[in-house]
Each structure stands twice: as C-alpha cells, then as structure tokens.
Structure 1
C-alpha cells in the first residue's frame, strides 16, 4: 500500500472502525437502506474482494509474566463473510484462554439500558441542532445527499455530528458488503457463548459512548466535512483500511489510524484512544500480576494496540515480555486487491437513523 494513499485516509473511518466497536454494534442492520447505486457499488467491489480461503494475518500478541499470559488481539469492527475463517493462531489463543475480555462485555451490550445510553449520547443537548453547528455549505451538501436516499436534514437535525458520521459510514460500508455483526469482537462473543467461556469488559457502554459524545464539536464537524466533501473516495479508503488489517500491516495501520488523527483531531485521539488505553492498563496488569495461572484473551480495536500510546508499548514499558503470535508473518502471500472506485457523480451513502 502506498504512503500517498495512506496520507489521504481520514480519521472518520479509522477511528470508528478500529476504535469504538460499541457505537457500530448499536446501529441495527435492519435500519440500513440499500444504496441507490448498489449495482455500481457492487461491480466496483467485485474487483476488491479478498483472495478466497486466505485467513487474515492476525494482529495478535502474547504478553507474559512468570505465571500466565494475556493474548492481545487487534480487532476490526467491520468485516465481510469472506474474511472468515480467521487465523489458526487466533483459534489457538481462544482455546488456550480461560476467559475472553472485550472492550465492553456482551452482557453490557445486551442490557435493556444499552439503547437508552446510545440514544442519549447520539442526541445533541436540548436547544442545539446540527444545522446550527455546520456551515451553510455543509448543510446544503448533507441535505442533497440525504435527499438522494429519500430523507432530509430535518430528520437528522437533533443528532450529534459524530453520530451522523457513523451513520453515513455504516450506510456506505453496508453497501460494500461490510457488517458490524461480522466484526472480530462480535464473532468471538458468539464463539465464547457457544464454548461456555466466561467473558468480561474493560469498560462500560457509557464509558465508550462518553468518549465519542464529549469529543470537541469542532473535531466532530471536521469528520463530517471530510465525508461530505469527497464521498466518492470513501469506498477506496475503507478498502485500504480493510486490506491493511487483513495483511497484519502494523506500519500501514499506524499510518492510517494514528498519524492523521493525532494531527487533525488531537483531542478526539486523546479521548477515544490514549485516555482509554491508560484506563485499561491497570486492568491488564492485574490479569498478569496475580497468582493465577490462567491465560486470558483480550479483544480490542486494533488502534488501541499500536504506536507509542498503544497497549503493547505501555505493557512493554512496564516490564512484561511482549511477542507477536503470527505463523503467517513473512510467509503468507497477501496480495491485495485493487481499491474500489465509483464514478464521480455517484454518492453510495445510506443513512441508518436510530430511534
């Protein structure tokens, strides 16, 4: 993947797909609508399908002390059916783990209060509207885009910019064959339930949604502006992110997920990544420092593992042994498909609206 392409990739896709899985999981798939240009989108996508029967190279590390180990798996929260089965390395770590820990526990995700929390985080405070936060130019672009889907700006006017970004990206990703129900975390939650393995979470739904909802409005609007100014480039950028994750490409993912986000939206980066990593670090150390010998598999968005602020660096600095588990590294043929493209006059975006 070329550096020039990496530099073009924006923070919207990386931050939501690699960091905040709860937000993606809370928008129900049955609220997505088909793109007006689904045929064209699928034709472009046909060139971008991953090679058949080649498992993704895992972003999997083993962090050890004298007694036990914590496996850290870098998840992506949107995947396709063709991405499964996952690597045998992940299967082995899953089998070796006495329990599976996620960003948010399956029980918390499935609680009756989850939808209420999500709606509260997605809505703007009383007296504020999206129209009042964005420029006339962006209002016109958003209204035109929604009109193509049979909607209008009035229907989303009470929502925060981060949620509108999420909705636009999910509508697009759904038309490209991606689904949060196929994300690594959702897949392993189901496997843990079937295997009868105990599960837990590093944080609550409210913790995660707070990081999104409290990010600076100016940075939320910047993400919305990025999407509305160049919707035709988004399919290719989502494909770049997917391909880098499939290839287990750590430098590539750092370029996509970290560098531009730190520069363009530094407060959001601090809140959704750095602050949460630091909050999780004592929990991970507790899993290692106790007298128990049970190993644990921890599944988090890949962005949380990478870079100087990532969990791998933080744990290494704490004195633990950190080693990558990757049988395919350096041996697998991970040829990447072409990026999907769309005609300049097409905007394959559908907006899922949460009630």
Structure 2
C-alpha cells in the first residue's frame, strides 16, 4: 500500500546583522509549499496484463448524511465495467437466509444457551440483555454467534447507524440495472463462516463483545473518521486493536479476515488478468493491514497506489 505523503516543515533561521547595520536584508522567501494531498479511501491497482481494479474500503453501517463519496470515487466508478462486492445484499433470498439461521443459529432439542456459557459470560449477557431490553427467554435457544451479532447491531442501531447507508449499498444502488454486479462471496457463505466456528471460539467472540459493550459506537466513529481522511493505517489500528490486545483472538481474525482476504485476492488477481476495469467494494477491514487485500495484490506483482479525493 502507498503511504500517505509526509509534509516537511522547513524552518528558516534568520541571523541578526551586526549592531551597526540599521536595516538587515530581508530574508529570502521560500517557495510556497505544496498543498497537502487529501486522499480518498480508494486505490488503483494496475495489472501486468492490462487490467485495472479500483478498490474502495466500505463501512457497512453509517448514519444519515455521514458518508460522502469523493469525486475520484465517482469518476472511477463511472470508468468501470463492473461492480464487485462481497455480497449483493439486494439480491439475497431472505427466506433462504432465515432457513439457514434457523438451522445453524439455534441450539438443538431442549438445550439452552445458559447451559453452555461459563458463569462470567452468562452474567455479562444477562446485564447486556437487560440494557438492550431483550427478554432472556428470547436468547436462550440462540447459539453464541447469533447473540453476539444481534447485540452488536442493536447497539449500533441505537446510535443511529443503519446498514442501508453503508458505502457498499450506495454503489449497489447506483449499479443496479446499469453495470454488471459480481459477488466475491454469498450471504450463505458468510453466515456459515460464523455458524461453523468452533463453539469455544463462538463463546470467546460473545464474551469479548459483552466486555466491550457500549464501546462499539465510539469505535465505529473513529473508523469512520479514518475512512473520511483516507487514513488506512489509522483505520487498521482500530479494526485490529482487539487482536493486538488479546492474541487469543487470532483464530477468530483468521476466519473473519485473513482467510477471506486470501480468497478475495485470488479472485481479484484473476480479474486483473483481463483487459477490463473493475470497481471493487469490500469491507474496509479487508483492504488494510499487512494481510489485507491491497498488500496481497502487491505481493502478486500488481502496482498499487492510493488516489486523492479530487477526480
């Protein structure tokens, strides 16, 4: 990934003249420093065989009017032949997804969540459910991964964040009926990714979510600020902070990010072998970091550069 430009501040020391000099010569005026470049959260990837991919990191939930697409994003989108997303949420069969959740997200028979959780996690969950106004009886048949996502989304929605206002949704609405839409994954694959996590890892995900209850809104605010500033390193620091603080979460990050990043990079790399222009919008956490999509595409030999907000 290209780094943000470093702005050098030049200090000119002006030495006073001798006491007999009544008027020292005026100091030379340095050439005006170039204005800092404002980067978008947008990268251009040039393939060795003529293909071009524009990569945008998406924030999937946003507040009304909070995210503004830069002119360069608009221009790159217009130049592209197809939109590539993780999942085309507008084409998801909701009844099929409900069946998957009923099959994969509920505990079998007469088993309950409380029988499976350790005392600390159960206590944290009871407190979180009370704050969210969720009846405990409504949670007792759910697997830990369903509870973790439910509580996280509810917390963000209370803060005014909505999935329909995310960056990916904005581009999907524009592409519908006018551009080819390509999926890197399916909604069912994403659900099964969580559903098939080992149960200890599911409980670990839920416990970590509960321990950080009340912090999700602040984290997303900082992620959004980094996105607006085109600050890839700042955004990565927010997304991967938990893993750095608790190395025990590495297996979870492997499943949710790094293994998926590798699969995405393989598919996008194949697109770069074609003489077409693609506009790729995936979660911002998949784009950044040493194991992110951009770093993996660079390792494949493609040229990557971050673009400014100006078109």
Give the match's secondary structure for 2:281: strand
Partner of 2:305: 323
* Paired residue total: 270
Equivalent residue for 1:270, pick from 248, 254, 265: 254
Asked if structure 2 preserves the Cα contact closer than 8 Å seen for 1:108 and 1:205, the reply is no
Q: Normalising by structure 1, report the TM-score.
A: 0.69
Q: Aligned runs of 1:102-251 on 2, under 5 Å?
A: 102-106=85-89, 108-110=91-93, 112-126=95-109, 128-193=111-176, 196-251=178-233
TM-aligned CA distance change 1:164 to 1:57, over 3 Å = farther
Which deviates more from structure 2 when the two are superposed, residues 86-95 or residues 135-144? 135-144
Query: What is the TM-score of this pair, normalised by structure 2?
Result: 0.78
The alignment yields a C-alpha RMSD, in angstroms, of 2.4
Q: C-alpha deviations, 1:37-59, integer Å up to 9, x for none?
A: xxxxxxxxxxxxxxxxxxx9632
- Secondary structure at the aligned position of 2:279 is classed as strand
SS of 1:215 mapped into structure 2: coil
Q: 2:266 aligns with which of 267, 279, 282?
A: 282
1:59 paired with 2:41, answer: yes
CA distance in 1, matches of 2:87, 2:296: 21
Indicate conservation of the 8 Å contact 1:80/1:182, yes or no.
yes
SS of the equivalent of 1:240 reads helix
Q: What secondary structure is seen at the aligned counterpart in 2 of 1:159?
A: coil
1:313 is matched with 295
Summarize deviations over 1:111-149 as a string: whole Å, max 9, x none.
642332244343235554321222234323423432455
Query: Which runs of no fewer than 5 residues in structure 2 stay unpaired?
Result: 1-37
CA distance in 2, matches of 1:179, 1:198: 25
The corresponding residue for 1:73 is 56
Q: CA deviation at 1:280?
A: 2.1
Aligned partner of 1:94 among 73, 77, 86: 77
Who is 2:4 aligned against? none
Matches within 5 A, 1:326-337: 326-327=308-309
Instruction: Report SS of the residue matched to 1:231.
Output: coil
| Per-residue CA distance 1:234-285 (angstroms, 9 max, x = gap) | 4323322232223222112222222533624111111111211222222212
5+ residue gaps, structure 1, are: 1-55, 329-355
Residues 1:297 and 2:290 aligned together = no
Higher Rg: 2
Distance, in Å, in 1 between the alignment partners of 2:205 and 2:56 is 27
Residues 39 and 307 in structure 2, CA contact (< 8 A), matched pair in contact too: no
Counterpart-to-counterpart distance in 2, 1:321 and 1:148: 49
Query: How many Å separate the matches in 2 of 1:155 and 1:111?
Result: 21
